[in-house]
Copies of this chain bind each other. A is one copy, B any other.
Amino acid sequence: MTSGIENGNGNNGDPDSTGAPVKVRTLADLARLAGVSAGTVSRALAGKSLVNAETRERIQALAREHGFRPNQMASKLRSRRTGVIGVVIPLGHEKRQQISDPFFLTLLGHLADELTEHGYDLMLSRVIPDGTSDWLERMTGSGMVDGVLLIGQSDQFDIIESVAESYRPLVAWGSWRDNQVHCAVGTDNIAGGRIAAEHLIAGGARNLAFMGETQGIEIDERYQGVAAAATEAGASLVHIPISLASAEMGEQIKAATANSDRAIDGVVAASDLIAMNVLHCLRDKGRSVPDEVQVVGFDDLPLASLTMPPLTTIRQEIAEGAKAMVQKLKAKIEGEDTDSLQMPPRLIVRGSTRSN
């Protein structure tokens, strides 16, 4: 707190010797204090080269002393760049608006780091799409952000496509299809599902279950991969849609596993979160993992190694993906073109499956 000294004793940088505390609210105020023009202050504070080093220092010191920061709204309006990236989490097919998978929050954390690193601020928006493209265009169309990152495509693939047609700086985490307009970064989910199922089958499973809602395209692809592998191996497969609302998940899993005519001996969960719930339910029912039932998760969250038994899972490269998303978005903002990126999934074998 440098204010409070009433009798300016020489070094308080206040040219009018009244000693009254001067409120510096605008560039113009500071300019007056420094005896220069607003333009110069603007340049000095922005660290521009065309300002005399000495005056720059002086102005910066003055600004610091008075705790002055230029108003960002004015700056952004004038310069037509906001330095802000909109990060949107579409909660398309989830009744409860809460939580969403820890996967998304982990991705968000990495995106936040990466954006900060690149000098961007982050405007977060969790939206429940309403059937129109409004939820997205609210971000893209209002001059608030320089670009948009989507944390998942949810069940909004087509809407994202249509918006991306006219709004370039947009990158989504999710799936990529041939001729897709919008740039996506994600995992090869079909391959991931396939690998998971093959691993289960190699461990002796014959009656598989896939647990998870397939409304989101990513999850659906995982299911397809599982289905393909099951068909090829002549294994049976049931699909059990599980809502993410954790309160109900346990009941749903129990009901589902009870109903099935053949005893399920291999589970592919659509995510680690679901897998953890499955593990918990199986334990409750006294079914041993991996001896009676094998379980594979998807994501490889840090928590996956802490379950009992530790979770075999399909790893997604979240940190790497976040890096790629930001890098691609930057490229798009600068007018370049970018490809989508589908990363290969990787099987992480732990204790919830029989290794060979």
* Interface residues, chain A, with chain B CB atoms under 8 Å away: 1, 67, 69-74, 76-77, 82, 84, 87, 97-100, 102, 105-106, 108-110, 112-113, 116, 121-127, 137-138, 141-144, 162, 246, 276-277, 279-280, 283, 302-303, 305-308
Would you call A113 and B125 a contact (CB within 8 A)?
A: no
A71 to B144, CA, bound (A): 7
A72 to B71, CA, bound (A): 15
Q: Which residues of B contact A141 (CB under 8 A)?
A: 67, 69
Would you call B280 and A137 a contact (CB within 8 A)?
A: no
Pick the contact of A122: B76, B82, B100, B124 (CB < 8 A): B124
Q: What's the nearest-Cβ distance from chain B to residue A133, in Å? A: 9
Chain B residue with minimal CB distance to A91?
Answer: B113
Would you call A69 and B137 a contact (CB within 8 A)?
A: yes
Pick the contact of A126: B74, B116, B137 (CB < 8 A): B116
Would you call A113 and B126 a contact (CB within 8 A)?
A: yes
A106 to B99, CA, bound (A): 7
- Contacts A1-B162, A71-B77, A122-B123 given; indicate if A98 touches B109 (C-beta within 8 A): yes
Would you call B109 and A302 a contact (CB within 8 A)?
A: no
Would you call B73 and A143 a contact (CB within 8 A)?
A: yes
- Contacts A73-B144, A99-B302, A306-B276 given; indicate if A123 touches B123 (C-beta within 8 A): yes
Chain B residue with minimal CB distance to A246?
Answer: B302
Q: Which residues of B contact A71 (CB under 8 A)?
A: 77, 142-143
Would you call B105 and A137 a contact (CB within 8 A)?
A: no
Would you call B124 and A124 a contact (CB within 8 A)?
A: yes
Q: Which residues of B contact A138 (CB under 8 A)?
A: 69
Q: Which residues of B contact A70 (CB under 8 A)?
A: 142
11 A–B pairs (Cβ distance < 8 Å), ordered by A: A1-B162, A73-B76, A74-B143, A87-B124, A105-B109, A112-B126, A122-B125, A279-B308, A280-B306, A306-B307, A308-B308
Q: Which residues of B contact A67 (CB under 8 A)?
A: 137, 141
Q: What's the nearest-Cβ distance from chain B to residue A28, in Å? A: 15
Known: A69-B141, A122-B125. 19 other contacts (CB 8 A): A67-B141, A69-B143, A70-B142, A71-B77, A72-B144, A73-B77, A73-B143, A84-B123, A98-B109, A98-B113, A99-B106, A99-B302, A102-B105, A105-B109, A116-B127, A246-B302, A280-B308, A307-B307, A308-B308
